[in-house]
Structure 1
């Protein structure tokens, strides 16, 4: 039961962070969002650092599950257009609904991780089905250092997502086509 409560509180903390930003993330705010008695969050995450660590750990798990699910939805990547379609799906997921809320929280946590090595370590890019699909696609086309190029391409996509979170709108297909073309060059 404690794990379920910790997960529920981490999910509520994610919601608070997405809605109110880092300054709004307090134990009391999470208690209110989770509709639990005052002090509950503090009992599970004693310090603010522990709360952030729990939130980031949960965020990474949700992101990994999303990336795995996205990779499973896509047909095999055979053409640059297929890769662009996959990246468009990912960016749309990250800019709408629950994915948008996680993106807002992720970027807030990324800024916090500049001063917190523990958070940075949790947030470091992990291997996942999506990253592997991009790496394999590039390697199959003879792209040198496909691991590094896949990382760079996905980092650029993250930058486009950040830009759209701040400025609004969707990521244009042409932008993703340009990134894929650059990665293939």
Structure 2
């Protein structure tokens, strides 16, 4: 029998698949049981309420989108410049595109949060903490860009992912090209120099 942590992870992944495939209205305890292939009642034993289930899904989204130790190690020691910043962004988009069910589930939760205040509060807290961690990482790594620029990149990447996972405006375009264009536009060399001088 799977350990509790393994079973919780199995159920959370099934919930993300269900959310991505059927939308927020399809996210029920029975539905998760069905997708996970477990006996009816299993999900409700682990997550008593729908809010508890959604909270677990948010945690699982964070786990699945966290860069691996290998990814971070591969970038250590490189100059903290625009190219490294762009490389981190390309990696974020790559992880989202390689886990489309996770990205779509997050989009579904964002939409559901516009209708349900309790989900909005949960997501807002999670997103604020994630954003603060992004800003801290950028600052500690000496990378160009402050909170304002990082927020703009969040906005842009959200739109880029939504576009590529639904009805792409330019189907043949690559996400890497889009990231390079965004970095060039939002962090031009003169802007990067000013930000670096301001950090001294």
TM-score category of the 2 structures, normalised to the smaller one: 0.7 to 0.9
Using the size of structure 2 for normalisation, the TM-score is 0.73
Residues 95-174 of structure 1 mapped to structure 2, 5 A cutoff = 95-96=97-98, 99-114=99-114, 115=116, 116=119, 117-126=121-130, 127-128=132-133, 132-133=137-138, 136-138=142-144, 146-168=146-168, 169=171, 171-174=174-177
Q: Which whole-Å CA distance do the structure 1 matches of 2:19 and 2:43 have between them?
A: 14
Q: How many residues align?
A: 176
Q: CA deviation at 1:68?
A: 6.0
Gaps of 5+ in 1: 140-145
The answer on whether the counterparts of 1:71 and 1:129 sit within 8 Å (CA) in structure 2 is no
The answer on whether the counterparts of 2:16 and 2:105 sit within 8 Å (CA) in structure 1 is yes
Q: CA deviation at 1:44?
A: 1.4
Q: CA deviation at 1:71?
A: 3.4
* 1:136-170 Cα shifts (integer Å, max 9, x gaps): 3215xxxxxx1221232233122211211122445
CA RMSD of aligned residues (A): 2.8
Matched, 1:30 2:32: yes
Q: CA deviation at 1:130?
A: 8.9
The answer on whether the counterparts of 2:135 and 2:147 sit within 8 Å (CA) in structure 1 is no
Counterpart position of 2:198: none
Q: Which structure has the bigger radius of gyration?
A: 2
Q: Which whole-Å CA distance do the structure 1 matches of 2:135 and 2:103 have between them?
A: 17
Counterpart position of 2:196: none
The answer on whether the counterparts of 1:9 and 1:41 sit within 8 Å (CA) in structure 2 is yes
Local SS of the residue matching 1:8: helix
Moved more, 148-157 or 36-45: 148-157
